[in-house]
């Protein structure tokens, strides 16, 4: 694979204190679509996901479940692996922070930070939230309903006093601000960069990076009793997966620095402040981008276990099928914004764009070909201006979609592709091929050929979002070469190709009854 450009995309690694929900599926879906897109576009891709298995939160969850932490991690991590399969995620690796290769990597990173003089020993006295696995300054806390102190996220906090190693985060204030100024796309969306920037400009305190009051974590090298703060442990996974500390490893040379870390807005600070600071301190190249997506609410309400409104991705897939679920999540809400999930908007969106949109377009076209052209793709005569316009606009869409994908603007990429499906719909209504059978069968053949070509290219572009459904569609058209190099004239359909009686690919859904969740 030498010579291929490379692309490295990651998801956050998920805490194994709970089973996967829609939020986890959403982050990994976005990374999956990017990875698939880049592979089709000729890149050598590394797509990484996995589980974050250390820290006090996991230790306590295991205790509560009455099992030892490793067994507990093995069980819950397996659920995340299952989800990846159920959602048709194409990750190249699934990393677990309890793996030996990871312990070795993060201990090496620690030593590098220590050798460069960025770690010192002291003691920590302050607030800690186990739920967020984060330290908070007194000034950041808010008052709970009963007057208790809470983290800004609403999570409970506890007072912690213990010996601790510190990372000299304060030494990186200027360097981080320069990074944000020099590369305004380092954090997207833009509004998030502003948040990060003002956090850093407000002044950085050194960061406590080891704990002594519990055991479930990676030991600090050379210092008994200290285990690493779970975030330094977790962030290092992105390096472990490409072979660090072996910087001569082929994967490391090929894939580091990562092209994009996709994260939720809640964990942006860790990725856009602490992570680049650690890397700068260790003299390692920085990732090119951190993209922070928004959060889903459920029918207007914050999703929480206590409200009992957690959206289970398995339920969605069971109700609506996998590809409609994948499509809805990235089409409905601009990536980066918060979004509200409702069954009604799900059904409306998928019926409009899939069943009545691309589904209907291809069903009609393939049926007409099957019925009127001897079950074979007809040979076209010369293309008219309308024919050429339709096909060249679709061909040009690849470049537009590339631009959107490079900024993780999935909704815009999908919008661009579906605009072409609508254009093909308009073309079919204007050309009225069903009338041409009697009046001008040769023109009918050309129109149907152009439509089949339009569908081929739209389907090729839509593969990353709905791989399984589009695979069926492309198979019905007899298309085997499916990379983006096939967009345009290069991959034109061969007249004479058998077109079997088409099977519907996108089902139509019933609107939920009023009040039905």
Quickly tell me which residue has 């490295």 as its tokens. Answer: 8
Q: Give the range of 143-151, 167-175, 260-268, 448-456 binding ligand MSP by CB under 6 A.
A: 260-268
Q: Closer to ligand MSP at the Cβ: 9 or 428?
A: 9
Among 7, 8, 9, 24, binds ligand MSP (CB under 6 A): 24
Q: Give the range of 10-18, 340-348, 378-386, 498-506 binding ligand MSP by CB under 6 A.
A: 10-18
DSSP state of 352: I
* 314 token code pair: 């398995």
Q: CA distances (Å), 327 to each of 15, 441, 516, in order?
A: 26, 37, 22
Q: Closer to ligand MSP at the Cβ: 14 or 410?
A: 14
Q: Closer to ligand MSP at the Cβ: 12 or 378?
A: 12
Q: How far is the CB of 123 from ligand MSP (least distance, A)?
A: 26
Q: Closer to ligand MSP at the Cβ: 52 or 353?
A: 52
* 6 token code pair: 């490379």
27 contributes a contact to ligand MSP by CB under 6 A? yes
99 contributes a contact to ligand MSP by CB under 6 A? no
Among 113, 234, 421, 474, binds ligand MSP (CB under 6 A): 234
129 contributes a contact to ligand MSP by CB under 6 A? no
Angle at which helices 322-332 and 22-40 cross, to 10°:
90
How many residues comprise the chain? 517
Among 7, 15, 255, 341, binds ligand MSP (CB under 6 A): 15
Q: Closer to ligand MSP at the Cβ: 132 or 453?
A: 132
Q: Give the range of 258-266, 276-284, 323-331, 506-514 binding ligand MSP by CB under 6 A.
A: 258-266
267 contributes a contact to ligand MSP by CB under 6 A? yes
Q: CA distances (Å), 242 to each of 42, 67, 102, 112, 247, in order?
A: 20, 32, 11, 17, 9
Contact between 340 and 295 under an 8 Å Cβ cutoff? The reply is: no
* Alpha-helical runs (H) found in 18-68: 22-40, 56-65
Q: Closer to ligand MSP at the Cβ: 237 or 476?
A: 237
Among 14, 37, 135, 427, binds ligand MSP (CB under 6 A): 14
Q: Give the range of 7-15, 64-72, 119-127, 379-387 binding ligand MSP by CB under 6 A.
A: 7-15
Q: How far is the CB of 121 from ligand MSP (least distance, A)?
A: 25
Write the DSSP string, 232-273: HHHHTHHHHTTTTT-TTSHHHHHHPSPSEEEEEGGGHHIIII
23 contributes a contact to ligand MSP by CB under 6 A? yes
Residues 275-314 contacting ligand MSP, CB under 6 A: 295-296, 303
Short-list 319, 321, 299, CA closest to 310: 299
Q: How far is the CB of 10 from ligand MSP (least distance, A)?
A: 8
* Alpha-helical runs (H) found in 333-359: 343-350
235 contributes a contact to ligand MSP by CB under 6 A? yes
Short-list 401, 393, 421, CA closest to 484: 401
47 contributes a contact to ligand MSP by CB under 6 A? no
Number of chain positions touching ligand MSP (CB under 6 A): 19
Contact between 357 and 510 under an 8 Å Cβ cutoff? The reply is: no
Q: CA distances (Å), 498 to each of 307, 372, 408, 486, in order?
A: 54, 13, 38, 20
Phi then psi dihedrals of residue 496, to 5 deg: 95, -15
Q: Is the peptide bond before 245 cis (omega within 30 degrees of 0)?
A: yes
502 contributes a contact to ligand MSP by CB under 6 A? no
Q: Give the range of 82-90, 153-161, 230-238, 406-414 binding ligand MSP by CB under 6 A.
A: 230-238
52 contributes a contact to ligand MSP by CB under 6 A? yes
Short-list 31, 30, 29, 24, CA closest to 47: 31
Task: Give the β-pairing of 6-10 and 44-52.
Answer: parallel
187 contributes a contact to ligand MSP by CB under 6 A? no
Among 44, 266, 406, 471, binds ligand MSP (CB under 6 A): 266
Q: What is the C-alpha to C-alpha distance for residues 433 and 268, in angstroms, rounded to an integer?
A: 53
323 contributes a contact to ligand MSP by CB under 6 A? no
DSSP state of 169: G
378 contributes a contact to ligand MSP by CB under 6 A? no
28 contributes a contact to ligand MSP by CB under 6 A? no
Cβ burial, residue 46 (10 Å; 0-12/13-18/19+): buried
Contact between 144 and 135 under an 8 Å Cβ cutoff? The reply is: no
Task: Give the β-pairing of 149-150 and 142-143.
Answer: antiparallel
Among 50, 189, 243, 264, binds ligand MSP (CB under 6 A): 264
Q: How far is the CB of 303 from ligand MSP (least distance, A)?
A: 4
13 contributes a contact to ligand MSP by CB under 6 A? yes
Q: Give the range of 66-74, 229-237, 246-254, 490-498 binding ligand MSP by CB under 6 A.
A: 229-237
Q: Give the range of 8-16, 249-257, 366-374, 399-407 binding ligand MSP by CB under 6 A.
A: 8-16
* 435 token code pair: 């009338």
Chain residues that interact with ligand MSP, rule: CB under 6 A: 12-15, 23-24, 26-27, 52, 234-235, 237, 263-264, 266-267, 295-296, 303
């Amino acid at each position: 694979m030498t010579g291929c450009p490379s692309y490295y995309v990651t998801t956050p690694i998920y805490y194994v204190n709970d089973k996967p929900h829609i939020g986890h599926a959403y982050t990994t879906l976005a990374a999956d679509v990017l990875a698939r897109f880049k592979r089709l576009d000729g890149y050598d891709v590394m797509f990484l996901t996995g589980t974050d298995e250390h820290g006090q939160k996991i230790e306590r969850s295991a205790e509560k479940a009455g099992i030892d932490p490793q067994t507990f991690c093995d069980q819950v991590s397996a659920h995340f692996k299952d989800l990846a399969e159920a959602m048709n995620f194409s990750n190249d690796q699934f990393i677990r922070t309890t793996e030996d290769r990871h312990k070795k990597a993060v201990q090496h990173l620690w030593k590098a930070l220590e050798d460069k003089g960025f770690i010192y020993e002291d003691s920590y006295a302050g607030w800690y939230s186990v739920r967020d696995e984060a330290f908070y300054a007194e000034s950041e806390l808010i008052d709970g309903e009963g007057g208790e102190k809470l983290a800004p996220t609403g999570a409970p906090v506890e007072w912690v006093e213990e010996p601790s190693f510190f990372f000299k985060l304060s030494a990186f204030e200027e360097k981080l601000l320069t990074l944000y100024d020099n590369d305004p796309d380092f954090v997207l969306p833009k509004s998030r960069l502003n948040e990060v920037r003002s956090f850093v400009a407000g002044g950085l305190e050194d960061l406590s990076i080891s704990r002594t009051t519990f055991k479930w974590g990676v030991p600090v090298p050379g210092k008994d009793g200290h285990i690493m703060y779970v975030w330094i442990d977790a962030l290092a996974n992105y390096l472990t997966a490409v072979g660090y500390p072996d910087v001569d490893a082929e994967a490391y040379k090929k894939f580091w620095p990562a092209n994009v870390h996709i994260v939720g807005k809640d964990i942006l600070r860790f990725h856009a402040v602490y992570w680049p600071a650690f890397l700068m301190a260790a003299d390692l190249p920085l990732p090119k981008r951190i993209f922070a997506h928004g959060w889903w609410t459920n029918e207007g309400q914050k999703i929480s276990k206590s409200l009992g409104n957690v959206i289970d991705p398995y339920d969605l897939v069971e109700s609506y099928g996998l590809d409609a679920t994948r499509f809805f999540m990235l089409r409905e809400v601009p990536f980066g914004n918060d979004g509200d999930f409702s069954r009604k908007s799900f059904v409306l969106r998928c019926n409009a764009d899939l069943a009545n949109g691309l589904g209907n377009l291809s069903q009609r076209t393939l049926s007409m070909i099957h019925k009127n052209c001897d079950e074979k793709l007809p040979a076209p005569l010369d293309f008219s201006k309308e024919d050429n316009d339709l096909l060249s606009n679709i061909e040009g869409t690849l470049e537009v979609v590339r631009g959107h994908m490079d900024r993780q603007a999935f909704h815009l990429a999908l919008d661009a592709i579906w605009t072409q499906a609508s254009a093909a719909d308009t073309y079919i209504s204007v050309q009225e091929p069903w009338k041409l059978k009697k009046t001008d069968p040769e023109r009918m053949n050309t129109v149907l050929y152009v439509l089949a070509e339009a569908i081929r290219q739209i389907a090729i572009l839509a593969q990353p979002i709905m791989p399984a459904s589009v695979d069926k569609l492309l198979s019905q058209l007899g298309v085997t070469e499916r990379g983006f190099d096939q967009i345009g004239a290069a991959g034109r359909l061969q007249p004479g190709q058998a077109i079997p009686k088409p099977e519907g690919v996108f089902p139509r859904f019933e609107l939920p009854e009023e009040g039905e969740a």
